[in-house]
Amino acid sequence: MGRVVNPHDLLRLAPGTPDFPDAPAWVAASLKRAPFVVVRRAVSVDGSIAVGIRGAVRSERFGSWLDPRYVERVLEPETLLANSKPSITRAELPAFALLEAIAPLCDSSGYVWGPTGSAAFELASGSPTVTQTSDLDLVMRAPEPLDRAAAKTLFDALSQAAHDHGMRIDMQIQTQDGAFSLAEYVHPGARVMLRCADGPRLVADPWQTSQAA
């Protein structure tokens, strides 16, 4: 695989992918049901990709490493909205209903964005993953600084939409070096926790990671 992958990308495993070492018993059944893993935020080891595997319940999560040659397809969060839709019977679930409602808000920001978490996994794999109580997790790509006033406007609009749907929404902002919570960034002058491949950093400016607290 020649392309670079990013945290939250979903990877479809190629036929013949070896078993993951030290994996709990539920992993094999989960991958048979939906042969997808999600890219984790970690420093690459010998060219391998840090991946996470999800099971049928929240407590079933397993982190491992994947040789890039076993990646059949890469699905980025920002491609899922255009190329995948929930089934008619599941589109009314709160997470999917909220995703549809906030799409114009996020599109108007001018930044590339998409769903992550359970909503992304179901859109990518077609395997029922979202529940009635699932939160909606999002990522927005912002390689250049995001104006705090614009961020506050977006945050307020997303929060209102989430309130109207009776659920929780979490937007992560992805920079060149890591990701941070939109909810933390909207407070003027506040430092944010930037989650990087080599660990978290408390920074004043997420686009200038040398400005650590």
- The reply to whether 58 and 89 lie within a common domain is no
Evaluate if residue 56 carries a pLDDT over 90: no
In this predicted structure, what is the pLDDT of residue 92?
92
Question: Looking at residues 42-52, what average pLDDT do you find?
Answer: 91
Q: Of 47, 75, 103, which residue is a domain's last?
A: 75
Is pLDDT at 11 greater than 70 in this prediction?
Answer: yes
**From 9, 19, 67, 135, active-site residue:** 135
Give the pLDDT band of residue 210 (cuts 50, 70, 90). Answer: very low
Q: Is 205 a catalytic residue?
A: no
Answer yes or no: do 43 and 118 share one domain.
Answer: no
Catalytic entry in 67, 137, 170, 177: 137
Lowest average pLDDT, out of 66-70, 99-103, 176-180, 188-192, goes to 188-192
- Percentage of the chain exceeding pLDDT 90: 80
Long-range contacts formed by 85-92: CB under 8 A, 24+ apart: 85/123, 86/122, 86/123, 86/130, 90/122, 90/128, 90/130
Full-model pTM: 0.91
Q: Do residue 87 and residue 132 come from a single domain?
A: yes
Q: Do 87 and 187 reside in the same domain of the chain?
A: yes
* Average pLDDT of the chain, as a whole number: 92
Q: How confident is the model at residue 2 (pLDDT cuts 50, 70, 90)?
A: low
Q: What is the CA angle 71-75-79, rounded to 5? A: 160
Q: What does the DSSP assignment read for 183-199?
A: HHHTSTT--EEEEETTE
Would you state the pLDDT for residue 166? 92
Segment 157-181 shows an average pLDDT of 95
Q: Is the pLDDT assigned to residue 3 strictly greater than 90?
A: no
Query: 106 and 182 share a domain?
Result: yes
- For residue 170, indicate whether it is catalytic: no
Residue 73's identity, in one-letter code, is R
Q: Report how far residue 126's alpha carbon sits from residue 87's, in angstroms, rounded to the nearest whole number.
A: 8
Average pLDDT value for residue range 11-39: 95
Provide the 3-class DSSP secondary structure of residue 182.
helix
In a shared domain, residues 168 and 155: yes
Same domain, 64 and 33: yes
Residues 26 and 83 in one domain: no
Same domain flag for 46 and 91 = no
Q: Is 116 helix (H, G, I), strand (E, B) or coil?
A: strand
Domain that holds residue 101: 78-203
Does the residue 120 lie in any domain? yes
Residue 136 has pLDDT above 60, yes or no: yes
Q: What is the pLDDT of residue 46?
A: 87
* Structural domains of the chain, count: 2
